[in-house]
Amino acid sequence: MAEIKMPFEPFRIKVVEPIRTTTRREREALLKQSGYNIFGVPAEKVTIDLLTDSGTSAMSDEQWAGMMTGDESYAGARNFFHLEKAVQSIFGFTHVIPTHQGRAAERVLFGSVLKKGDIVPNNIHFDTTRANVEVLGAKAMDFARDEAYDPDSGHPFKGDMDPDKLKRCIESKGPGRIPLVLMTVTNNSGGGQPVSLRNIKDISEVCAHYDIPFFFDACRFAENAFFIKKREKGYEKKSVLEIAQEMFSYADGATMSGKKDALVNIGGFVTLDDDAWAERIKNALIISEGFPTYGGLAGRDLEAMARGIGEALDEGYLEHRTAQAAYLGGLLDQAGIPVFKPFGGHAVYILADRFLPHIPRKKYPGWALTVALYREYGIRAVEIGGVMFGSKTGRGREEAYPELEMVRLAIPRRVYTGAHLQFVAEALIELHKHRDKIRGLRIVRESPFLRHFTARLEEL
């Protein structure tokens, strides 16, 4: 078998944070207390935390230095102008409206342009995006290409949206009911897969034809641009920045969680060209987030985001980042653990229903795997499956499940080394050997939206 290589970390470590370990007994008690929900476990009780790559990045010395230059004026802080310039130089839109994170950007945008009965197409909506559409009485619809749902397909751009599915939706529902089309890059709910520039152009043309604004959910735009460079013909020699600029040139705007590809612990924004929409968004922002030059952030946070967004386009950094996912995924794959392929940019996704074939979907195999991984090894991962996306279709009816039942091992940016990932792979390989001991669960308490954050469960 070929050796799976991990390039060395393209940084030196200047500040360290100790990792604390716990005993199995302690973890067992914590699971019981949290209702078998790893969101309820204190982070200090987690050995390797792969719950999310969101807001968990290590900032650079340049970003920390920038934090000290925070201008904490209420209006017109200089850091806002730095952010505005940095975002405009990559995204190319006129208005840059900061928010405290991605879902706030979604809320102020959707709240300003959607009404009850509207439809929002996407390749696949992530959970907060779906919730922010649906809370307004609009419908979130997914039109990813068929390969997106086939974990074994090696298609290089499984994040693509199917233009024919989109056209059929527009024709049947009417363009007047579709205030905007979204495109999530990379496609987080579908294995972190990239979208090609060919597809971005095609979808942009469909939207232009029907006069529908086209927006990106741009959280992981730098990783997406890097995959285009590596996989799409004609882009090998372009810089990742040029590719990102071209991606955005086909769109009308974007929402962004800076907690991903702007390498910050908090922050986000909406950026767009349309003056009338921008005005409505700024008015909505003032009610809940703050004045439009800070949008729920301190001046220092704006500065960290202004600096981080450029660092995320560094090709040495992106090479290492994508190699981390390929390394972890490769070790698991080589050991016969079912994983979603190709490996995405920010995470490795385990096919939990194949890992635990003895647990039926209604007993949430993905959730069961996250519980077992924490109990046995102190590793925290997130279920992207039946608990996160399952829904009752009516009172007393059977629950409907998403097509894929996965557990995501999300890799925080610049935080863990190859040795940490090797530990995770070894833990999963061991767990896989004893998989028949893992039990399913049932939900005992849940909330109506985004239930996985607070649900309480019981082992069967």
Positions touching ligand P61 (CB under 6 A) are: 52, 54, 101-103, 126-129, 184, 188, 217, 219, 257, 259, 268, 382, 410, 452
CB of 297: closest distance to ligand P61 in angstroms?
12
- Specify the residue, 93 or 110, whose C-beta has the smaller distance to ligand P61: 110
Q: How far apart are CA 431 and CA 66, in angstroms?
A: 43
The type of residue at 63 is Q
CB of 458: closest distance to ligand P61 in angstroms?
21
Nearest to 438 by CA among 125, 36, 23, 12: 36
CB of 5: closest distance to ligand P61 in angstroms?
27
- Specify the residue, 105 or 337, whose C-beta has the smaller distance to ligand P61: 105
CB of 395: closest distance to ligand P61 in angstroms?
25
Which tokens go with 21? 């370990």
Check: CB of residue 243 under 8 Å from CB of residue 232.
no
Q: How many CB atoms lie within 10 A of CB 442?
A: 12
Check: CB of residue 432 under 8 Å from CB of residue 337.
yes
Contacts of 419 (CB under 8 A, 6+ apart): none
CB of 182: closest distance to ligand P61 in angstroms?
9
Check: CB of residue 97 under 8 Å from CB of residue 271.
yes
- Specify the residue, 6 or 325, whose C-beta has the smaller distance to ligand P61: 325
- Specify the residue, 30 or 124, whose C-beta has the smaller distance to ligand P61: 124
Check: CB of residue 350 under 8 Å from CB of residue 339.
yes
- Specify the residue, 6 or 254, whose C-beta has the smaller distance to ligand P61: 254
- Specify the residue, 259 or 432, whose C-beta has the smaller distance to ligand P61: 259
CA distances from 23 to 29, 135, 377, 431 (A): 10, 41, 9, 17
Q: How far apart are CA 406 and CA 353, in angstroms?
A: 7
CB of 397: closest distance to ligand P61 in angstroms?
24
CB of 295: closest distance to ligand P61 in angstroms?
13
- Specify the residue, 130 or 432, whose C-beta has the smaller distance to ligand P61: 130
Q: How far apart are the first and last CA of the chain?
A: 39
The widest CA-to-CA distance across the chain, in whole angstroms, is 61
- Specify the residue, 6 or 347, whose C-beta has the smaller distance to ligand P61: 347
- Specify the residue, 6 or 217, whose C-beta has the smaller distance to ligand P61: 217
CB of 228: closest distance to ligand P61 in angstroms?
17
Check: CB of residue 293 under 8 Å from CB of residue 76.
yes
Check: CB of residue 111 under 8 Å from CB of residue 119.
no
CB of 219: closest distance to ligand P61 in angstroms?
5
Q: How many residues does the chain have?
A: 460
Gyration radius (Cα) of the chain, Å: 21
Chain position whose Cβ is nearest to ligand P61: 102
